[in-house]
Structure 1
Amino acid sequence: MPARPSGAVHAPLPSADTEVPFSVRHFLQKGCAMHSRDSAFTLLAKPESRIVAANFLMQLGLQAIYFVGIIGCATYDMGADALVVSSLVLVLNVMLVVMSFVAGPLVDAVGPRRTLAVTLSVMAVAGLAGWLLPLSYGLLYALAAVQGAAFGVGSTSMDAYPRFVSDDPRYLQRVNSLVYTATSVAVIAGPALGGLIVSALPTKCDFAIMAFASLPAIALVWSTVEKIVPSRQRAAAGEACAAGTMGAGDGDARPKARPAGGARGFLADLAEGVRITWESEGLRTLFLIGFLGFFAYGAFDSLESLFYRDVLRAGAQWMGWLSAISGVGGTLGSLAVLRIPQRRLDMTALSAMLLVTGLGSMLYVGTGSIAWACVGQLVCGLGFGAMGPTRTTLTQARCDVSHVGRVTSVMRVGMNSAGVLPLFVAPFLADAFGVQAVLFGASTMVAVVAVAFVARTRTRRESLG
C-alpha cells in the first residue's frame, strides 16, 4: 500500500462492520457513479478517443460477421465447397477493392466524418437483414458485397481521420497506434463473441453484432468534426492548397495535388491519387510492400475455413477462437509501435514486420495441431498489428492533407487487390497438392518477399526517408 503524504489529514474510513446511514451510502454510491460517468465523458471529449472508440465498434461488427458469420454459414450451415467459399470471398474482395478506391476522393472532398456516418448506417441495415431474413446463398452474397464495401470505405476513412485532426508526427504515431490497437481488440472480441453466439444459437444470429455495434459508432463519428475542413467545403481551391501544405516540415518534398471534388470528374480524382503515389519513391515503395507482401495471403481467404474443417478437424467455434488469438497478437503489436523511436519507424521496420507475419503463418498452417496453430496465429497477429499503424504513419508523413484520402485509398487498393488472383487459382492448387501444402507455400512466399524488402530498404534508407 502506498504511503500517505506527510501532513495530510484523512477522515477515518468505515470498517466492514460499521453501519453506514442510508443517506451517506446513497450519496457515496451516487458520487462514485457520477465520477465514473464524468471520467468516461472526459475521455470521450477528446476527438482521438472518439475516433478510436468508433473504429473499435465498426471493426467489432465487421470482424464478427466475416469469418464466423458469412464464411461460417456457408461452410457449416450450407455445406459449401472451396469453389463457393472462394466466390463469396471474391465478391467481398472485389467490393473491397472498388470501394477502397472510391473512398479516397470522397474522404478528400467531404471528409471522413460524413463518409463514415453513411457507411455505418448501411452496416446497421445489413446486419439486421442478415439476422432476420431467411438464410440463402443470395443473402450471403449480398452481405459479402456490403461487408467488402464497408471494409473498404470504413478502413480508408479511419486511416485518414487522424490527419484531418492534426499534422503533428508524434500525435499521428500515437493515434494511429491506438486506432489499430482498437482494431486488434475487435479482432479478439468480434470473432470470440461470434463464436460464443454460434455455440448456443443459429449461426445467422452472429449478424446482429454488426447491427447493434454500428449505432453508437454513428453517434461518436458525427460528434467528431474535422479540424481541417475537407476540400469540397472550402470556399476556393486556393484555400484548399494552403491548408494542404501545413505538413510536418517536409511539405516541399511532397508531390502536390489538386483538391478533390472539383469539376475535373471523379475518375480524374482517382487518377490523381495514383499519380501522387507513383511519383514519390517513398509512397511507391510503401505501395509495393503492401501489394507484393499481401499477394500470397489471397489463398487463405478461400482455403482457411477448409483448413479448420479438414486439417485441424475443428468446429466452427474454433474459427472464432483462433481469430481472437490473432487479435491478441495484433493488440500487442499495435501497442509496441508506441515504444518505437520515431527515427526507427521506417520502411525497413515495416518490412521486418511483414517477415514476422510470414513466419507466423508458416507456424500456423505447418502442422495439424491446434496448439501450434494458436502459436502461429499469435506471432502472425504481432506482425500484422505492428504493420498497420506503421504503414499508415509513414503514408501520412509523406503526403499533405489535401490528398491524404486518395493516397490512403491507393495503398489499401494495393493490399486488398493483391489477394484477388490467388482466389482464382487456390481451389485448383488445393485439389492438386492439398489445402495445407498450398497455405504453407503461400506463407513461405510472404517471408521471402519480406526478406527482399528488408535488404532493399536498408540500402536505400536515406532516399526513402
Structure 2
Amino acid sequence: MPEYLSKPSEGAYALRLAFTTFFRALGFQATYFVGIIGSATYLLGADAMEASLLVVLLNVTFVAAGAAAGVVVDRIGPRMTMLFFLALLGVTGIIGVAFPMGMMLLVVVNVLEGIAGGFCMTASSAYPRYLADDAAVLQKINSYNNTALCVAVIAGPLIGGWLTVLFTSQMVFAVLPVSSSISALFVWKLPELLHPEGTEKREGEGFWKQLAEGIHIVFSHPVIAALFLIYFLGYFAYGAFDSLESLFYRDVLRVGSEWMGWLSSAAGLGSTVGALAVLRFSTKRLSLETIALLLVVIGVGSMVYVGTASVAIALIGQLIAGFGFGAMGPVKDTVLQRNCDIRYIGRATSVLSVGMNSAGTLPLLIAPSVADVFGVQAALFGVSTIAAVIGALALAWTHVGNPKEA
C-alpha cells in the first residue's frame, strides 16, 4: 500500500472532498432549476424559446469556463481553483437576491453561475487524482465524491422547493453564499497529496498551447477518446430536457414549480443509490462497457419519466434514470483518472466536461420547434429513446472489446 494511504489522517481527505463537493453542488442544485428556470417560467411567464435561450447561455458559459478550467487546474491545482470560484459563486447568490426580478437579472446570475460552476466542477472532478493513483482507491474516492454530488441533487431542489413555497423562487439564490462559504471551509484544509512533475515548465507555456495539448491527450488515447464519444453522443439528446422540462411540469403533469424540486430530489435519491452501488463493483467493471450499459438505464428511465401524465410514474422514472446517472459518474471518473497522467488530468477532465455541455447546445435550439410540432411530451420521450438506443449501440461496440482497455 502506498505510504500516503497508510497514514490514519488520509482517509479523512476523501470525506473532506465529499463535503466540499456536497456544499458546492448544493447551491447550484437549489438555484439553477428552481431558481433560474423556475423564475423564468413561473414568475416571468417565459415560453420554450426563452427558457431554451437561458439554458443555451448557461451551456455556452459552462463550455468556455470548462475549457479554461482545465488549464488553470493543471497550473495551480484544484484547491486554489475551487477557493477562488467558490467566492464568485457566493457573490452570484448575493446579486440574485439583492436586485429586482427580471430577465436581465436571470441572465447575469446565469452567466456568473455558469463561470463559477464550470471551474468548480472541473476542479472537483480532477481532485481525486491528486489524492491517489491506485484504481481501487480512486474507485472509493470517486464513489464518495459522486455520492455527495447526488445527495446535493436531493437536498438542493428540496431546499429550493420549500423556499419557493414559503417565499418566491428568487429567494433560493440566498442559498449560494451560505453553501459556498461552507464548501470553501472544507477545501481550505484539503491538501494535494500527489503533485505532477514539470509544473514550472508548464507555467512558462502559453494558455492555448496547454489547451491544445490537453485536447491532443484526450483524442490520442483510445480509451479516453471512446469515453468522450460515448458521453458526447449520450448527452446530445438530453439537451432538449433543459429547455422543455419545466414546460412538461407545467403543461403535462400540471403541477406547481415546487414539484420541479420534489421530482429532481427523487432523481437525486436514485443517483445516491447508484453512486454508492459502485463501491460494490469489481475494478474490472469500471469500464467503458459498464458506462454504455448505464446509458441504456438512463434512457429507459427517462422514457418512463416523461411517458405519461402521472406524477407517480414520473417519480419512478426519475429514480431509474437517477440510478444510472449516479453510477455513471464515479465509473467515468475512475476510467479517466487511471488512464490519464496527473499532469493532464485537469485538461482531460475539462475536455470531457466541454464535450458533455456542448453536446446539449444544439438540441436546446431545436427542441422548441420540435415541441411546437409534436408537443413537449412527445419531444422529451423521443430524445429519451434516442439516448437509450445510443447506449445500446455503444454497449454492443464495447462488449467485444472496442477499444482495448488496460
Q: TM-score, normalised by structure 1?
A: 0.84
The alpha carbon displacement at 1:291 in A equals 0.1
Match of 2:93 in 1: 127
Query: Of residues 298, 301, 325 in structure 2, which corresponds to 1:360?
Result: 301
Aligned counterparts of 1:173 and 1:44: Cα–Cα separation in 2: 16
Aligned counterparts of 2:220 and 2:403: Cα–Cα separation in 1: 17
The alpha carbon displacement at 1:225 in A equals 2.0
Asked whether the 8 Å contact 2:275–2:330 carries over to 1, the reply is yes
Identity %: 47
The alpha carbon displacement at 1:131 in A equals 1.4
The alpha carbon displacement at 1:149 in A equals 1.6
Match of 1:400 in 2: 341
Structure 1 86/44 Cα, relative in aligned 2: closer, same or farther at 3 Å? Answer: farther
Match of 1:332 in 2: 273
Query: Of residues 347, 362, 367 in structure 2, which corresponds to 1:421?
Result: 362
Match of 2:5 in 1: none
1:303-342 alignment runs, 5 A limit: 303-342=244-283
Deviations, residues 240-263 of structure 1 (Å, cap 9, x unaligned): xxxxxxxxxxxxxxxxxxx4x332
Query: Of residues 61, 68, 73 in structure 2, which corresponds to 1:95?
Result: 61
Aligned counterparts of 1:99 and 1:389: Cα–Cα separation in 2: 22
Structure 1 or 2, whichever has the larger Rg, is 1
The unaligned stretches of length 5 or more in structure 2 are 1-7
Match of 1:251 in 2: none
Aligned counterparts of 2:220 and 2:10: Cα–Cα separation in 1: 39
SS of match in other structure, 2:105 = helix
Asked whether the 8 Å contact 1:110–1:231 carries over to 2, the reply is no
The alpha carbon displacement at 1:319 in A equals 0.1
Asked whether the 8 Å contact 2:243–2:368 carries over to 1, the reply is yes
Structure 1 442/53 Cα, relative in aligned 2: closer, same or farther at 3 Å? Answer: same
Match of 1:412 in 2: 353
Asked whether the 8 Å contact 1:44–1:50 carries over to 2, the reply is no
Aligned counterparts of 2:368 and 2:136: Cα–Cα separation in 1: 45
Match of 1:49 in 2: 15
Deviations, residues 165-211 of structure 1 (Å, cap 9, x unaligned): 11121111001001000000000000001101111112211101111
Match of 2:389 in 1: 448
Asked whether the 8 Å contact 2:223–2:403 carries over to 1, the reply is no
- The CA RMSD measured in Å over matched residues stands at 1.5
Structure number with higher relative contact order (C-alpha < 8 Å, ≥ 6 residues apart): 2
Structure 1 45/350 Cα, relative in aligned 2: closer, same or farther at 3 Å? Answer: closer
Match of 1:35 in 2: none
Aligned counterparts of 2:374 and 2:146: Cα–Cα separation in 1: 36
SS of match in other structure, 1:463 = coil
Structure 1 57/231 Cα, relative in aligned 2: closer, same or farther at 3 Å? Answer: farther
Q: TM-score, normalised by structure 2?
A: 0.96
Query: Of residues 204, 212, 228 in structure 2, which corresponds to 1:262?
Result: 204
Deviations, residues 375-433 of structure 1 (Å, cap 9, x unaligned): 00000000000000000000001011011111111111111110000011101111111
The unaligned stretches of length 5 or more in structure 1 are 1-41, 238-258
The alpha carbon displacement at 1:231 in A equals 6.3
Structure 1 393/319 Cα, relative in aligned 2: closer, same or farther at 3 Å? Answer: same
Deviations, residues 212-233 of structure 1 (Å, cap 9, x unaligned): 111011121121121223668x
The size of the alignment, in residue pairs, is 399
Instruction: Name the amino acid aligned to 1:392.
Output: D
The alpha carbon displacement at 1:272 in A equals 0.7
Structure 1 44/67 Cα, relative in aligned 2: closer, same or farther at 3 Å? Answer: farther
Asked whether the 8 Å contact 1:328–1:381 carries over to 2, the reply is yes
Aligned counterparts of 1:267 and 1:312: Cα–Cα separation in 2: 47
SS of match in other structure, 2:309 = coil
SS of match in other structure, 1:193 = helix
Match of 1:208 in 2: 174
Match of 1:283 in 2: 224
Instruction: Name the amino acid aligned to 1:266.
Output: F
Query: Of residues 391, 403, 408 in structure 1, which corresponds to 2:332?
Result: 391
Deviations, residues 81-121 of structure 1 (Å, cap 9, x unaligned): 11111111111000011111111011010000000001100
SS of match in other structure, 1:227 = coil
Structure 1 181/97 Cα, relative in aligned 2: closer, same or farther at 3 Å? Answer: same
Aligned counterparts of 1:124 and 1:392: Cα–Cα separation in 2: 27
After alignment, is 157-166 or 439-448 more displaced?
A: 157-166
Return structure 1 stretches of 4+ with deviation > 6 angstroms.
Answer: 42-45
After alignment, is 150-159 or 378-387 more displaced?
A: 150-159
Asked whether the 8 Å contact 1:43–1:49 carries over to 2, the reply is no
Instruction: Name the amino acid aligned to 2:231.
Output: G
The alpha carbon displacement at 1:152 in A equals 1.4
Higher helix share: 2
Query: Of residues 269, 272, 285 in structure 1, which corresponds to 2:213?
Result: 272
Aligned counterparts of 2:32 and 2:103: Cα–Cα separation in 1: 15
Structure 1 139/231 Cα, relative in aligned 2: closer, same or farther at 3 Å? Answer: farther
Query: Of residues 113, 117, 120 in structure 1, which corresponds to 2:79?
Result: 113
Q: Do structure 1's residue 348 and structure 2's residue 292 form an aligned pair?
A: no
Q: Do structure 1's residue 85 and structure 2's residue 51 form an aligned pair?
A: yes
Query: Of residues 117, 131, 138 in structure 2, which corresponds to 1:165?
Result: 131
Q: Do structure 1's residue 295 and structure 2's residue 295 form an aligned pair?
A: no
Aligned counterparts of 1:313 and 1:96: Cα–Cα separation in 2: 31
Match of 1:25 in 2: none
SS of match in other structure, 1:464 = coil
The alpha carbon displacement at 1:365 in A equals 0.4
Query: Of residues 155, 160, 163 in structure 2, which corresponds to 1:189?
Result: 155
